[in-house]
Structure formats: structure tokens, C-alpha cells
Structure 1
Amino acid sequence: MARGASSHFSLKRAEYDRYYPTVLGVLQNSGFLVMDADRDENRAFLQGLPRSGAGPGVEIEIRRKPKGLDIHVLVVPHEDLPQDKGQFLMKRGVFGTLQSDPASQRTLEGILPALRRDGMERTVDPRFRRTPTNIPEWIFFNLKTGTVTWFLGTVIGLTGAAYLLFWAPEGPYRQNSPLMTGLLLVLAPWWSGIWGRSALRGLAAAFVTVSLPVTFYVVSALGWGFPGLTRPPGITLIQVLLASIQGPAGIAVPVILGILSGIVGAIAGVIGGRIFPLKARRSAESI
């Protein structure tokens, strides 16, 4: 059973053709002589023996991936390495049965920083970032932070509620009080809330969606302004609340309905957040 130490890591933006000679330089600068190498277009093996003739030897596998490279490093006592050309210990699958060896572990820890340093990854030109940093995120309808979808969902829900109250054409459905109440206090705030994608945003969106048009409706019903906005038949729930709350106190009706609809919006926001999870805003320096 082989003794030694091993490591595996990935470099997401490293280039195969540039990384291979870099590994050769790392081995030589770390006191190894490259005794064997096997390389094709997508995979390379290197074997290094200690220049002093004593101590651990090293094998490195470089494998090209669709994005970046996979690197395997194996360090074992040099006498355990195969002597025949083209033969590599890591090809025999020794990683799963490798026994700990302190000297090999120290050697591995000594060469890993040079093999994994960030400078070997290809730098991406900021001009080719997916979202240019000099342009506001909202122009790209950014679904990660959810601000744009929250705003547009609220606007659409608010427009639908206002249309239902003030501009919907006459029809049998306007005589159906449960249907009208459900459309106003359930469907409209649900639509606005689900695009908030969180409970708090959903509550706020639903509150605005219902309370704002209902405020104009109540002001018209109380005779304070906006004549003609209330058309018969009115919304039964609003009429009942106005009959229960006499006088100027009736202006509290939009707040009451906004809070009730906010509960619906909060539930919808939680569901929307599970379907389209919110993510943290990407910093300008990230790629």
C-alpha cells in the first residue's frame, strides 16, 4: 500500500496550454527534476524526482475541462514511483488507499501555493463583463436582487385593481359580490406580492396595490372629491365598512383593506421567493 499525500483542486479560468509550462517551472524551482511526461490535447501527466536524490517525488495530472482545469497532485517517497517510461502511479488509482506520510505531506504543502496561485488564471477584460459596471443594474431587468420585478409587479397589480374599481365595463360579473371582492383583495395583491419574492416586499406591494385605488374610491364615495368614480353596484365589502365607520373616519377603510390584502401579499411573496430566490447584489469588482 502506497504512502504519501495528495491534493485535488480546480482552476476555473486557467488555460491548459499556459498552465503546463508553469507547472514545469514550479517543479524545477521546487528542487525536482522532471523525469517523465505524458501529454495530449486534453490531459497531461508529469513526474518529478528530487534533485538531491533523497526525499519524496511528485506526480501531477492536468486535465482540461469545459471551463478551466482539474489538477491532481500526488507526493510519495521517490522509490515508490514507477521507473518505466510512461508509467505513472496515479494511473493505478492509489488515492483511495494512500497512507499518510509526514515527509510527503510537508513537500505537498510546499508546492501547492505555487500551483494554485491566482495569477495563473486568465484575467477577464472588464469590458466583457456580463453587466457593464457603468450602467445601472435595473436596465438589465436584474432578477437577482428583485427590485425591478417587485416594482413592475406592484404597478401591474395596482393597475388591475384600479381597472376593476373604476374602468371595468358593465357585465354580469359586476353583480357578483364575492367575485369582485376576491379579485380585489386576493388576486390583485397575490399578483403584486408574488413578484416581491419575500414576505416583507410582498406585504408592501399588496398594501399599495389595494389601499391606493381604494383611497380614491372612498374619497369619491364620501363626496370629498373625484365624482363619478363610484359606480353602482359598488364593492359590497367597501360599502359595508363605510356604513360601519361613519363620517371622516371612513378614510380608514383603505388602510384596513390594505392590511388584509397585505397578509395575502406576504404569503404570495414567500412562495415567489421559493420559486425565484433572491440573491445578493453582485459587486462591481466581481466577474
Structure 2
Amino acid sequence: MARGASSHFSLKRAEYDRYYPTVLGVLQNSGFLVLDAERTEDRAFLQGLPRTGEGPGIEIEIRRRPKGVDVHVLVVPHQDLPQEKGRFLMKQGVFGTLQSDPASDRSLADILPGLRRDEGERQVDPRFRRTPTNIPEWIFFNLKGGTMTWFLGTVIGLTGAAYLLFWAPEGPYRRNDPLMVGLLLVLAPWWSGIWGRSAARGLVAAFVTVAIPVTFYVVSALNWALPGLARNPQISMITVFLDALKGPAGIAVPVILGILSGIVGAIAGVIGGRIFPLQMKRARSSESI
């Protein structure tokens, strides 16, 4: 029964033709001498022995996939590797019968980081970043994380809600209660929420969009300050809540309406996230297979 260690992983962004010379370089830099190789259009085998003549040997199989490559690595004592050209221990199906070998485990751990490195996306030296690291990315209109669209959507939605409550011109539409409620508690939070591009951001955006202008409206309607902001005819839903919550308790109305609109914003945020997905941190380029 063979002794050694093995690993199997895939590189989703690697190209077969480019990855093959990368493996050759990793083997040479790791102290292996490539003694045998077999390569076809979609599959390659490499066999390496330690340059010093002592320690484990290695075999690597690379398989082309529609997206990326699959890599199989086998490390065994070099005496166990076949001596004949064109013969590879991998082809004999030894993976399922391997016994642990400490030296092979160490060699495998040393070489895997180099083999797993995916050159599909190069890392940028922080010194050469286009934006300073001590300044928030959204200030530079970096839309990848969604912060800027979330902020702008909330500001526009809040401005629209405030305009509807305080500055919109007079007209018959202001006496249409379903229309006014729909504009304030559905359309405005929907706009803010969809640009949040996630349920949590959508909820927060919609809450802010409705709660802030309604707070000023309620303060004026209760005659505490800001006279004249609560225009006639007043918004029916706000009036209903103010009649139910007498006196200082009326200050809870913005919170209640903010929560109701937050539900709308959360739904809109989910839909916005499907239409304009947030770009999260990339997953590791190598995955076990």
C-alpha cells in the first residue's frame, strides 16, 4: 500500500495553456526536477523528483474544464514513483489507498500555495491604489459596494417625500387620500429602497426617507414649532394616527410610518439587489473538488 499525501482542487479563473507553465515554474522553484511529462489538449501529467535525491517526489495532473482547471497533486516517497517513461502513479488509482507519510505531508503543504495561486486577477500594491485608503471609497463614486447608490437614492427619496409634504403645489390631487398615501408610503420608500440593493439597506433607506420629513410635519401639526408646514388638507393617514395618539405620544407617528415604509423598502431592496447585484468580496480562487 502506497504512502504519501494528496490534494485535489479547482481554479475557476485559470486557463489550461497558461497554468501548465506555471506548474513547471512552481516545481522548479520548490526544488523538484521534472523528469517526465505527458500533455494533451485537455489533460497533462507531470512527474518530479527532488534535486537533492532525498525526500518525496511529486506527480501533478491538470485537467481542462469549461471554466478553469482541475488539479490533482500526489506526493509520495520518490522511490515509489515509476521509473519507466510515460508511467504515472496517478493512473494506477492510488488515491484511495494512501497511508499517511509525514515527509509527504510537509512537502505537499509547502508546494500547495504556489499551485493554488490564480493569476487570473493580480493583486494591486496598496501603494499604487487609485484612491487613498484613509478616505471612504464612496466619496470617489466607487459604486461597486453600493454605498454611493444607497446614499444618493435615500437623499432623492427623502427630498421627494419632503417636497410632497411641504412644497408641492396645490391641486385636486392633494385631496386624493389614496394617492397621497401611495406617494408617501409606497413610491418614495420604494425608490430609496431599490437603490439600497439589499433588504437591510432598503429598510434603513425607506425608514429615513419617510420618518424624517414626517417628524417635521408632526411637530408642525401638533403646534410645537415650525408653524405652517402641516398644510391643509393634511395627509389622512398621519391625521388618523395623530387622533389616536393624543398629545406628546403623537411623536411616535413618524416611527410607526417609518417602520411601515421600511417593509416596502426592504422588498424593493431585495428586487434592486437582483437587478443590480452588489459586488462582494471575491471568494477564494481555489475550491476543493
| Mean Cα deviation higher: 119-128 or 263-272 | 119-128
The verdict on how the C-alpha distance between 1:80 and 1:240 changes in structure 2, with shifts beyond 3 A counting, is closer
Partner in structure 1 of residue 60 of structure 2: 60
Cα displacement (A) at 1:278? 7.3
Give yes or no for contact 2:192–2:209 (8 Å, CA) kept in 1.
yes
CA drift at 1:23? 0.5
1:253 maps to 250
Instruction: State the SS of the aligned residue for 1:47.
Output: strand
- Determine the C-alpha separation between the residues in 1 that align with 2:177 and 2:249: 21
Q: 1:177 offset after TM fit, Å?
A: 1.0
Q: CA deviation at 1:109?
A: 1.2
Once the two structures are TM-superposed, the CA of residue 212 in structure 1 deviates from its matched residue by 2.7
Instruction: Tell me which residue corresponds to 2:98.
Output: 101
Task: Provide the rounded CA distance (Å) in 2 between the counterparts of 1:5 and 1:281.
Answer: 32
* Matches of 2:125 and 2:225, distance apart in 1: 59
Query: In the TM superposition, what are the counterparts of 1:114-125 in structure 2 within 5 Å?
Result: 114-117=110-113, 124-125=124-125
- Which residue in 2 is equivalent to 1:264? 261
Q: How much has 1:265 moved relative to structure 2?
A: 0.4
CA shift, 1:240, in A, is 4.0
Say if 1:194 and 1:265, in contact at 8 Å, map to a contact too. Answer: no
Contact 1:154-1:205 within 8 A present in 2 as well: yes
CA contact (8 A) 2:2 2:98 kept: no
Deviations 1:194-219 (A, max 9, x none): 555344x5555444322332333344
Q: Please identify, of 61-70 and 144-153, the stretch whose mean Cα deviation from structure 2 is larger.
A: 61-70
Partner Cα separation in structure 2 for residue 126 and residue 66 of structure 1: 33
1:112 and 1:129, CA in 2 relative to 1: closer, same or farther beyond 3 A?
farther
Aligned to 2:234: 234
**C-alpha distance in structure 1 between counterparts of 2:152 and 2:270, whole Å:** 16
Q: Secondary structure at the match of 1:8?
A: strand
Q: Which amino acid aligns with 1:260?
A: L
Q: Distance in 1 between matches of 2:252 and 2:279?
A: 32
Tell me if the contact between 1:81 and 1:88 (Cα under 8 Å) persists in the aligned partners: yes
Unpaired runs of 5+ in structure 1? 283-287
1:187 CA displacement:
2.9
Aligned length: 269
Give the 3 Å change call, closer, same or farther, for CA 71–183 of structure 1 in structure 2: same
Distance 1:102 1:274, change over 3 A: farther
Normalised by the size of structure 2, how large is the TM-score?
Answer: 0.65
Task: Quickly say closer, same or farther: Cα 1:131–1:41, change in 2 above 3 A.
Answer: farther
Amino acid at match of 1:258: V
Contact 1:27 1:34 in 2 (8 A): no
* Sequence identity percentage: 59
Alignment partner of 1:208 is 2:208:
yes
Deviations 1:95-135 (A, max 9, x none): 5x6442327x4453132123124699576433555865254
Q: Quick one: structure 1 residues 156 and 47, their matched pair in 2 at CA, closer, same or farther if it must change by over 3 Å?
A: same
- Please state how far the C-alpha of 1:180 moved relative to its aligned partner: 0.9
Q: Structure 2: which amino acid aligns with 1:162? A: A
| Paired AA for residue 107 in structure 2 | I
1:26 maps onto 2:30 in alignment: yes
Q: Deviations over 1:44-85 (max 9, x none)?
A: 64324588999975322457999997643234675662613x
| Alignment partners' CA distance in 1, 2:76 and 2:115 | 27
Q: In the alignment, what sits opposite 1:166?
A: 166
Alignment partner of 1:81: what SS? coil
For residues 147 and 52 of structure 1, what CA distance do their matches in structure 2 show? 55
RMSD over equivalenced CA pairs, Å: 4.7
Alpha-carbon deviation of 1:137?
A: 1.6
In structure 2, do the counterparts of structure 1 residues 81 and 154 end up closer, same or farther at CA, with 3 Å as the change threshold? same
Contact 1:10–1:70, Cα closer than 8 Å, also in 2: yes
Q: Which amino acid aligns with 1:136?
A: P
Matched AA of 1:174: R
Runs of 4 or more above 6 Å deviation: 1-4, 11-15, 39-43, 50-56, 63-69, 277-282
